[in-house]
Every structure is written in C-alpha cells, then in structure tokens.
Amino acid sequence: MNLRSGRLKGKMTSDAAQFTSSLDFDQRIFLADIQCNLAHTTMLKEQGIIPEDDADQILQALNELEEEGIDALDIDPSVEDIHMALENYVTSKVGEVAGFMHTGKSRNDQVATDLRLVLREELSTIQAHLLKFISGILDLADRHTETVMVGYTHLQHAQPTTFAHHLLSYAYALKRDYERVKDAYKRVDMCPLGSAALTTTSFPIDRKRTCELLGFSKILKNSIDGVSSRDFISETVSSLSILCITLSKICEELIIWSTYEFGLIEIAGEYSSTSSIMPQKKNPDVAEIARAKCAGVYGELVAILTILKSLPQSYNRDLQEVTPHLWSAVDSSHSLLNITADMLSTTEFNQERGEELAEANFSTATELADLMVKEKKLPFRVAHQIVGRTVSKAIEEGLKPSDINPKYIDMVAQELTGENLKLDGKLVKNALDPKKVVRTRNVIGGPAPEMVEEAISNLREFVDREIK
Ligand code: ARG
C-alpha cells in the first residue's frame, strides 16, 4: 500500500526521498520493530480490537520475517523507513489485512519504542564490558600493590604512590561511569508504545500488556511525552561521553608513560605501530587514535543536544536525525572501552624505573615536613619552609634525597629559625624512603598496600554483585 496515495499527489523526488529516508540507520531497529509489532498485534488480538484470524496471520508473517532477516524487505528510499518496509512485507504475505497491524499505533510511538528496545541491549552489553574492564584492572592492581612509583600533580613529581593505587583511581572512576550508564538504563527502560501519534487512541488498547510483552519496567505516562522525549538518548550519550573522558585519560597516561623520558610502561606490540622511515620507532598509535576518537563521541552529544534544543513537544521529524548520532556514540564508546581495556591489561609496568623516579626528585619532601610536625611539634608551615629550603639547597649542591641527613637539615633550620631540630637519623631516612612513605599512608583511600588490598576486595565484591 502506498502511504502517499491518499493525501498526496505523486511521489517525492528521488533526492527528497533519499534525503528524508531513515532506512540506512533503521536497519539497527529491524528486529526491535518486529518485536514491537508482535507485541502490539498480540495485544490488539487479546483486546478483541482486530479479528483473531487476521491477527494470527500478521503474527505469522512477522515471525517469518524474523527468520528471513532484513534482506527480505524492500528498502527502496521511497519506502521512507523500516516501519513502512515491514508493513509492506506483511502486506505482501497476508494481503490488506496487514493494515490492522497499525490500528491504534503510529510510527511515532513505534520508533521511540524500537530505539529504547535496542538501546537497552546496547547498554547491558556496555555495562557488562565495563565490569570486565574493572575486574581486569583489579587483577593488574593485585600484582602491583608494592610497586612504587611517583605520583604527579601538574605532571610534576609530587608524592610517592604505587602503581596499584594509581590503577584503582581508574577503577573507581570506571565504577562511577558504570553506575551512570546503569542509571541511564532505568530511563531507557520505559515504554512509549500506545502513545500512538501523540494522544493515544480511542481503541481500548492495553498499554500495560504491551509494556509487559516487551519487558519494559515502566510505561511513559504521558503520550505527548511518549513520542517527544529523547532525553533517554541525551542522558545515555552524556554518560557515555563521561566514560570516554575516563578512557581518554587512561590512554593519555599510557602514551606519556611509555615515552623514553618516563619509561614507566611498555605497551604491548599488538597495540603499537612503527614508522615507515624511522626503523627504531614504537608508537602508541592505538592509544592515540582512542584519545582522538573520544572527541567524536562528544561531537555526537553536541549534535544530539543541538537537534533537541527548542523542539516543540510531540513528534517532529528532526527526531529522526538524532538516531544516527546515538548509534555512532554507542558504537564508538563501546569500541573505545574494549580496546582501552585490552591495551591496559597487556601493558607492562617497569618496576625499576618506577622506584628510580620515586627516589630521584624529592617526592618524599611532604613526609619530611610531616616528620618535623610529628616529632618536634613544629607548625606545618614552618616545617614546609625548612624542607622547601633544604630541597632547594640540595638541588643547588647536586645532592640526592638520600644525601639529606639531620645535620644537613639543621643547617637550614638554624638559618631560618635560629634553632637545631636534631631529628632522629633513622626517622629522617625512613621519611625520605618512598617505599616506607607509601606504607605510612594507611588512611581510607591511601596507597598503603593493605588499604589498596582492601579497596581491591571491596571493588571485587561490587563487580560480583553487579554481574549476578
Ligand atoms: N523514521 C522516523 C524516525 O526515525 C519515524 C517515522 C515517523 N515519521 C513520521 N512522519 N511521523 O523518527
């Protein structure tokens, strides 16, 4: 049946048909559209809205289509979209009784339902992969609770930490990313079917039944909202964008840490490239591409928000243009997630270099100042000044942290306060030893191995709870 033959004279130009068709990206909702029609037709039949025999024929044709697959459809652009292509298929099988299928239903509630059905699946898979990633990070962290490295602020040496502690900073960020996606899922998992064009229908449809048949948790309670709302899309893509920020930061660190200057990690050959001219090169191309591809996801978010901004309520064809941006964001973030997870889990940490850097550049200075507060009851600001001056003097004189002893500190203390601190030599040595310093940071969230082990086990419990 030609949809246009009633109200309109003739066809769209082929350019206009191509321009407005959603068939390209509708392929993604093909199976969902069958599900949606199956549920709606079943409900129409149960409610006695359409003849039982006709309903059965329609249901059978839909089941056949599911088996035959999308290739059985005529997807010429003049067909407009998957909903019409599918209806045409059913008509070709059962004749014009196929038209009953569209009783009390519109493509407006249908497309909104289909998108939600597909997105539910996508988000479930992304959630599962996020848990797998977190779990992989925990396995890696478990092997590195004693692996000392320097922690950075401003990308300058700051304080000693461990590789495991740093890895857990990724794990916790990813846990929140997971929770955001899980939360977005709740609002994807709502059923607009039965909203019809925008004001429902006078047929006695049973919205609860179609909601149940499609496995949705809730019904969208207002039919205008049912066909207009795409906040489930902007929320999903926002949460994916935030996830991509975490992923891009991980990739960035893999890139920086694998430089000769840092030398902290070795990215696996499988995730590296070489140069066509410089034979010595090992480049972190996968991480670089990943870092860049995240930008595409933010671009999709901005496109989606911009399409939705100021749209009048109810259905506007503009909504169709949101869909390809949604799938692009979903696909990109999903592949970014998987590639980053695999790359990180195969990365080797250079323990020796970690220690070398942690020991080289006064990253333990805070602990030395803390020691003065603890042992000599100096106000922290005074201790800060003495240590700052000590470090500066040591650097001028070409001394290393391990060369600093109580006598050296007292030369500065004397000059600044007129008094000697007479710190205990052993305590000074310990305060300047990155491994020992890390052990003393045993408050919640700190890098002490036992705290990190506890965090690993808490996160493992979280992952196990969520997987089941
Ligand atoms: N293809 C459309 C979309 O993706 C659904 C059809 C609604 N079309 C209409 N003319 N009301 O949004």
Q: Is the CB of 111 under 6 A from ligand 1?
A: yes
Amino acid 130 reads L
The answer to whether the CB of 370 falls within 8 A of the CB of 383 is yes
Mean residue pLDDT of the chain comes to 96
Q: Is the CB of 210 under 6 A from ligand 1?
A: no
Within 305-386, strands assigned E span 348-349
HSE-up of residue 239 (Cα within 13 Å, Cβ side): 24
Residue pLDDT, tens place only, 19-75: 999 999 999 999 999 999 999 999 999 999 999 999 999 999 999 999 999 999 988
For residue 5, the model assigns a pLDDT of: 73
CATH code of the domain made up of 3-103: 1.10.275.10
Which CATH superfamily does the domain covering 357-461 fall into? Fumarase/aspartase (C-terminal domain) (1.10.40.30)
Distance CA 312, CA 99 (A): 30
For residue 433, the model assigns a pLDDT of: 97
Bridge-based pairing state of the strands 218-219 and 190-191: parallel
For residue 229, the model assigns a pLDDT of: 97
Which of 230, 317, 323, 327 to mutate for ligand 1's pocket (most ligand atoms within 8 Å of CB)?
317
Class of the 109-203+215-350 domain?
mainly alpha
Is it the case that residue 4 has pLDDT exceeding 90? no
For residue 74, the model assigns a pLDDT of: 87
Residue pLDDT, tens place only, 332-373: 999 999 999 999 999 999 999 999 999 999 999 999 999 999
Burial status of residue 214 (CB atoms within 10 A of its CB: 0-12, 13-18, 19 or more): buried
Distance CA 280, CA 293 (A): 27
Residue pLDDT, tens place only, 236-292: 999 999 999 999 999 999 999 999 999 999 999 999 999 899 889 989 999 999 999
The answer to whether the CB of 80 falls within 8 A of the CB of 20 is yes
Domains of the chain, by residue range, sit at: 3-103, 109-203+215-350, 357-461
Is it the case that residue 203 has pLDDT exceeding 90? yes
Residue pLDDT, tens place only, 80-137: 899 999 999 999 999 999 999 999 999 999 999 999 999 999 999 999 999 999 999 9
- Tell me how crowded residue 75 is: count the other CB atoms within 10 A of its CB: 19
Distance CA 68, CA 64 (A): 6
Active site residue 275: yes
Residue 6 or 330, more confident: 330
Distance CA 449, CA 13 (A): 70
SS (H, E, C) 368-433: HHHHHHHHHCCCHHHHHHHHHHHHHHHHHCCCCHHHCCHHHHHHHHHHHHCCCCCCCHHHHHHHCC
Q: Which residues are CB-neighbours of 109 under 8 A, at least 6 positions away?
A: 192, 193, 194, 195, 196, 197, 223, 226, 227
Q: Is the CB of 114 under 6 A from ligand 1?
A: no
Q: Is the CB of 117 under 6 A from ligand 1?
A: no
For residue 77, the model assigns a pLDDT of: 78
Catalytic position from the list 14, 275, 335, 402: 275
Q: Is the CB of 84 under 6 A from ligand 1?
A: no
**Atom of ligand 1 lying closest to residue 82 CA:** 1
For residue 6, the model assigns a pLDDT of: 76
For residue 10, the model assigns a pLDDT of: 82
Which of 80, 108, 227 to mutate for ligand 1's pocket (most ligand atoms within 8 Å of CB)?
108
Active site residue 363: no
Question: How many residues are recorded in the chain?
Answer: 468
Q: Is the CB of 347 under 6 A from ligand 1?
A: no
For residue 468, the model assigns a pLDDT of: 82
Distance CA 358, CA 364 (A): 8
3-state DSSP percent of the chain in helix, strand and coil, to 5: 70, 5, 25
Whether the CA torsion 218, 222, 224, 229 is positive or negative: it is: negative
Question: How many Å lie between the centroid of ligand 1 and the Cα of residue 83?
Answer: 9
Is it the case that residue 1 has pLDDT exceeding 70? no
- From residue 430, alpha-carbon distances to 245, 369, 370 in Å are 38, 13, 12
How does DSSP classify residue 312?
Answer: P
